[in-house]
Structure 1
Amino acid sequence: MNLYAFGKGLVKILLTPLYRVEIIGKENFPADGGVLICSNHIDNLDPPVVGMTAPRPVHFMAKEELFNAPVLKSILPNVNAFPVKRGMSDREALRKGLSLLKEEKVVGLFPEGTRSKTGELGKGLAGAGFFALRSNAYIVPCAIIGPYKPFKKLKVVYGKPIDFTSLRERRVSADEATEIIMESIKHLISQYK
């Protein structure tokens, strides 16, 4: 058994009863093809929670600093995470993400780029739009509706994939594409809160 599958099982056993995790919209998740999951970011536990609820293995883009942390630097690469330099255009990370999507894998992103201090949805960065426009992946909006409080319900909602065909043809900007993704996440949050 690989470390990803082991980790996913362990996280599920620990977090599902603690946060009474409810998964909504799992049927919206494409069974094959490249998938870009774009989720809001309210807690450090978001990546494991999305990873354990997604029906397919997820490759997360994670801030580079985590790959220098003593324990994490040996774990992260083995659970499909890859580094991104924050606050600048990281070509290496963009190439890696696109190549995973072309290989029909699942890439997980938090378009806000950092955790929301208030729990409110922040502004998305252009990276999400870049991946959405430059790949033929399904774009799946995801909303994590908390808070993370023991024995209070935590919802993870997967929306229907956003159809980017016409946006790709119209060559909209990465910022515009990200805005459309963020609107979808916002809609899921207000619908299921």
Structure 2
Amino acid sequence: MDFYSFAKGVVSSVLKPLYRVEVIGIEHFPKEGGVLLCSNHISNLDPPIVGITAPRPIYFMAKEELFRVPVLKKLLPPLHAFPVKRGMSDRQALRTGLEVLKQGHVLGIFPEGTRSKDGKLKKGLSGVGFFALRTDAQVVPCAIIGPYRPLKKLKVVYGAPIAIDSLRERKASPEEATEYIMSHIQALLDAYQ
């Protein structure tokens, strides 16, 4: 068993009962090929929650500052996390993300870039649109719903893959693709809240 699977088992055994995690729509998750998984962002616990509920290992961009913390610096790479500089175009992070998708893995992204303080979906950053348009990965929207309070139900909803082909064909802008993806996340929030 690799470290990722071991950590997933440990974290799952703690978080699933604590937050009474309910997973909806897991049947929509593509079983193979590159997947761009796009979720809203309401808590620092979102990456582990998505990590333990998704059926495949996920590669996450994590803010560069986390890699300066000695313990996390050793822990994050085997958990498939790679650094991204926030607030600027980080070419290395974009290249790494594209490579993850091209190799047929799952790239998990929180398009808002930072946590939403009020739980409402904020405007997405264009990086997610860039990944959607520059690869042939399937784009899966995800909504995390509920308070992160012990023994209160937390829902993780996976939507069906979003049709991006028409946007790719007419060379839509990353901003337009991002807005389109965000509208699908919002639809999941509206449907399951």
Give the TM-score of the pair, scaled to structure 1. Answer: 0.99
| Partner residue in 2 for 1:71 | 71
Q: Does 1:41 align with 2:53?
A: no
Q: CA RMSD in A?
A: 0.5
Structure 2 counterpart of 1:191, one-letter code: A
CA distance in 2, matches of 1:3, 1:108: 18
Q: Which residue of 2 aligns with 1:116?
A: 116
Q: How many angstroms does 1:146 deviate by?
A: 1.5
Aligned equivalents of 2:179 and 2:9: distance in 1?
34
Q: Partners in 2 of 1:11 and 1:41 — Cα distance?
A: 19
Q: Which consecutive segments of 4 or more residues in structure 1 shift more than 4 A?
A: none
Q: Distance in 1 between matches of 2:116 and 2:71?
A: 25
SS in 2 for 1:156: strand
What displacement does 1:126 show? 0.2
Distance 2:115 2:73 in 1: 21
For residues 20 and 85 of structure 1, what CA distance do their matches in structure 2 show?
33
Deviations 1:95-131 (A, max 9, x none): 0000110000000000000011111111100000000
Partners of 2:146 and 2:78 in 1: CA distance = 28
Quote the residue 1:3 is aligned against. 3
Amino acid at match of 1:30: P
Alpha-carbon distance, 1:10 to partner? 0.7
What corresponds to 2:146 in structure 1? 146
* Matching of residues 61-100 of structure 1 within 5 Å: 61-100=61-100
* Paired position in structure 1 for 2:185: 185
Q: Distance in 1 between matches of 2:55 and 2:185?
A: 19
Alignment partner of 1:17 is 2:17: yes
Amino acid at match of 1:18: L
Letter of the structure 2 residue corresponding to residue 68 of structure 1: R
Q: CA deviation at 1:71?
A: 1.1
The code of the aligned residue for 2:154 comes to L
The yes-or-no answer on 1:132 pairing with 2:166 is no
Q: 1:56-76, CA deviations, whole angstroms, 9 ceiling, x for partnerless residues?
A: 000001100001112111000
Q: Percent identity?
A: 67
Amino acid at match of 1:2: D
* Structure 1 residue ranges without an equivalent (≥5): none
Residue 163 of structure 1 and its aligned partner are, at CA, apart by 0.9
Aligned to 1:56: 56
Between the aligned partners of 1:92 and 1:147, the Cα distance in structure 2 is 34
Structure 2 counterpart SS, 1:143: strand
Q: The residue matched to 2:139 in structure 1 has which SS?
A: strand
Structure 2 equivalent of residue 171 of structure 1: 171
Q: Give, in angstroms, the shift of residue 85 of structure 1.
A: 0.4
Secondary structure of the equivalent of 1:62? strand
- What CA distance in whole angstroms lies between the structure 1 residues aligned with 2:112 and 2:6? 29
